[in-house]
Amino acid sequence: MAKEQQPHWSDILKRRLANPKKDERSDEEKKAEETELFTKYYTEWKGGKDKDKSYKNIPRFYYRLPAEDEILLQKLREESRAVFLQRKSRELLDNEELQNLWFLLDKHQVPPVSGEEAMISYEAYLQVGERAGPKCKKFFTARVYAKLLHNDPYGRISIMQFFNYVMRKVWLHQTRIGLSLYDVAGQGYLRESDLENYILELIPTLPQLDGLEKSFYSFYVCTAVRKFFFFLDPLRTGKIKIQDILACSFLDDLLELRDEELSKESQESNWFSAPSALRVYGQYLNLDKDHNGMLSKEELSRYGTATLTSVFLDRVFQEYLTYDGEMDYKTYLDFVLALENRKEPAALQYIFKLLDMENQGYLNVFSLNYFFRAIQEQMKLHGQEPVSFQDVKDEIFDMVKPKDPYKITLQDLVNSCQGDTVTSILIDLNGFWTYENREVLVANDNDNMSAGR
C-alpha cells in the first residue's frame, strides 16, 4: 500500500487563508504560544533538546601547569613552546632581507633631499611594500607612515627613520623571543634565576665584558639582575614581566656593551659596564673591614661620604633583609640603587618606607623631626650651629606642596619632583649641607664657567 503523501506547508497555508477562523484567544495566550514556538524552533536550530547543556560546553580558559613530578608533561610543554618560538623567529626579517629592504627604499627615494635625509613619498612607499615580500607587509601601512610623517612640505617621510623603525621592531621581537626561551613557567615573566641565566649566557656576546675574570661572573650577574628587579618589581614578587623588561631602557644599556668602541664616559654612566660593576663590588669589599663577606651597621656607616645618620642606618637594618644583623651583597645593591637614583619613584619608595617608621603611609611633623634631630646632632659634632627644625619643616612642606597640609605621602614626594632633595635633607648631613649652601655652590659654578671661557 502506497504511503499517504503529506500536504505541502504552502497548501495548508492557502487553505487557512481561504477559510479564516476567528481567533478568540487573549493577547496573553497568543504571546505565550509565540514564546513557546520560538523556544522550540530555536532549540532545534541550536542542536535539539538532546544536546548536552552541562559545564562541558563552557569554553576552556584555564590550563593547569604540569606539576614537578609530571616530567613528561613538562617536557612536552617545553618542546611545544620551543617550536612555537622558533616559528615566530622565522617570521622575522633576517640580515639579508633587511639589506634588501634598504636597497629597495634607496631605489625609490623621491627628491629633493631634506637636509641630508633621503625621503620617500606615500606612493613610492606602497610600491616598496609590494616588492619587499610578505614578511614586510605589516610595516607598510598608512598608520606607520602617518607615525613617521612630520613637517615635510611634500608629505614624505625619511627613509632612514622608517628603516630604523623597522630595525627597532625586529630587534624588539628578537629580544622578546630570546627572553621567552628563559621563561621556564611560560607565563610571560622571568624569575630571578631565569634572568640570571639569560645574562650569564649573554656575557660572551658583549665585547665590553671581555676583560672580566670568570670568577667575577656570579657577582657581575647579581649586580646586573638587581637593577632590573629593584626598578621593575617594586612589590618584591620575585618575578618581572618580559613586557616590562622590553619597555624599559635597561636592556638597551646592557646591549650597548656590544659596541667595541664605547666611550669611557658611557661606560662610567652605564650600570652594566665592567668598570661600574667593579666599582660597586670594590666599594662593598672596602666597607667589609672584617672580611666576612657581610656588612655590619658600623661598616655601612662609612658608605659614600660617611655622612648618613645613624638613625637612618638603624632603619635600614630594621626594615631590609639581613643575616644575624649583617647585610649581604644583594641587599647592599638595593641600598646603593636607592641612594644613587633618589629621583626615581622606586628609589623614593625604598627610602620612604624607612622614613615612615609607623607604617602609616605618610610622613608628619613628628617623622620629619625624628630624622632631622640626627642631622642637628651631626652638625654639633662638626662644630656647626644647628639649623632650626621649624625652618626646615616649613621649607620641606613648601617644596612638596602635599594634598593634605599636615601629611606627606609617597605620591606627594613623587609628584613634587623634589623627593631627592627632601630625602637628602633628612638622612644625609652632606645632602643637607649641599641644600643649605645651594646658592653659594651655584655662584661658584657660574664663576668657574666664566673663568673657563
Instruction: Give the tens place of pLDDT for each residue, 350-398.
Output: 999 999 999 999 999 999 999 999 999 999 998 888 899 999 999 999 9
Cell reading at 281: 663590588
φ, ψ for residue 428 (rounded to 5)?
-140, 115
pLDDT of residue 39: 81
Place of cell 624607612: 354
Is there a contact between 389 and 372 (Cβ–Cβ < 8 Å)? yes
Question: How many residues would you count in the chain?
Answer: 453
DSSP 403: S
pLDDT of residue 22: 64
pLDDT of residue 64: 83
Q: What is the C-alpha separation between 396 and 389, in angstroms, rounded?
A: 10
Is pLDDT of 8 > 70? no
pLDDT of residue 135: 93
Residue 321 — very low, low, confident or very high, per pLDDT cuts 50/70/90? confident
Residue 444 — very low, low, confident or very high, per pLDDT cuts 50/70/90? low
Q: What is the C-alpha separation between 162 and 77, in angstroms, rounded?
A: 38
Is pLDDT of 15 > 80? no
Q: Out of 1.10.238.10, 1.10.20.60, 3.90.1170.50, 2.40.50.140, which CATH number does the structure's domain 308-444 have? A: 1.10.238.10
Q: What is the C-alpha separation between 161 and 118, in angstroms, rounded?
A: 10
Is there a contact between 299 and 289 (Cβ–Cβ < 8 Å)? yes
Q: What is the mean pLDDT of residues 143-155?
A: 93
pLDDT of residue 184: 81
Q: Does domain 71-182 have CATH number 1.10.238?
A: yes
Compute the mean pLDDT over every residue in the chain, rounded to the nearest whole number: 89
Q: What is the mean pLDDT of residues 33-61?
A: 70
Q: Which of 291, 151, 271 shows the shortest CA–CA distance to 220?
A: 271
Residue 108 — very low, low, confident or very high, per pLDDT cuts 50/70/90? very high
Indicate the fold that domain 187-277 takes in CATH. Recoverin; domain 1 (1.10.238)
pLDDT of residue 55: 63
pTM: 0.77
% of the chain with per-residue pLDDT over 70: 89
Q: What is the mean pLDDT of residues 156-168?
A: 95
Residue 417 — very low, low, confident or very high, per pLDDT cuts 50/70/90? very high
pLDDT of residue 171: 92
Q: What is the mean pLDDT of residues 55-81?
A: 82
Residue 67 — very low, low, confident or very high, per pLDDT cuts 50/70/90? confident
Q: What is the mean pLDDT of residues 284-298?
A: 96
Residue ranges of the chain that CATH labels 1.10.238.220: 187-277
Residue 221 — very low, low, confident or very high, per pLDDT cuts 50/70/90? very high
How buried is 368 (Cβ within 10 angstroms: 0-12 exposed, 13-18 middle, 19+ buried)? buried
Residue ranges of the chain that CATH labels 1.10.238.10: 308-444
Q: What is the C-alpha separation between 44 and 52, in angstroms, rounded?
A: 13
Is pLDDT of 68 > 90? no
Judged by average pLDDT, the poorest of 24-33, 305-314, 364-373 is 24-33
